[in-house]
Amino acid sequence: MKIESADWLLYAASELSRLQDQHEIVRVLQKVRVRVKNGVKEELLPLLKMKGIGRVRGRKLIVNGIRNLGDVKKVDIATLGQIVGKALASSLKKQVGEDVVVISPGKRKGQMSLEKY
C-alpha cells in the first residue's frame, strides 16, 4: 500500500511538472517512480530495461562488473550463464543484438591443439 501511495504521489507530481513545462523534473520523477516500483538504486536502472532482469539478478550482474547493456554485450556468454543461468544469458545476448551460437557438448570452444591434426 505504501509503494502504491508513493507511486501515485510521484505520478501526480510528474503530471503537475508536465503542465508547468518542467521537463527536467518530469524525467527525474519518472526515474524515481521506476526505482520505487522495483526497489532499486539508480545504478540498476539500465539493466532493469532488459526482460528477465529484476532487482536480484540486476544486483548479481552489478556485483560481477556488468553495469549496462554495453557490458552485457562485451561479456562472454559462458560467464553470463554462470551468473544468471544459460537460458537467460542467451535471452540477454539476443536482446542486445548478438547472435547466440550454441556449442554442442562434444565440441570445444576456441582453438584446437596441434595433436588433433
Q: Is the dihedral of CA 91, 96, 98, 103 positive or negative?
A: negative
Say if residue 81's pLDDT is above 80: yes
What pLDDT, in 10s, does the model give residues 40-59? 888 888 898 899 898 899 99
Domain ranges of the chain: 1-39, 41-100
Q: How confident is the model at residue 110 (pLDDT cuts 50, 70, 90)?
A: low
pTM (predicted TM-score):
0.69
Say if residue 20's pLDDT is above 90: yes
Provide CATH code, domain 41-100.
1.10.150.20
Mean pLDDT of the chain, nearest integer: 86
Predicted pLDDT at 106: 64
Angstrom CA distances, 19 to 12, 31, 42, 78, stand at 11, 18, 26, 49
Which candidate, 107, 105, 47, places its Cα nearest to that of 75? 47
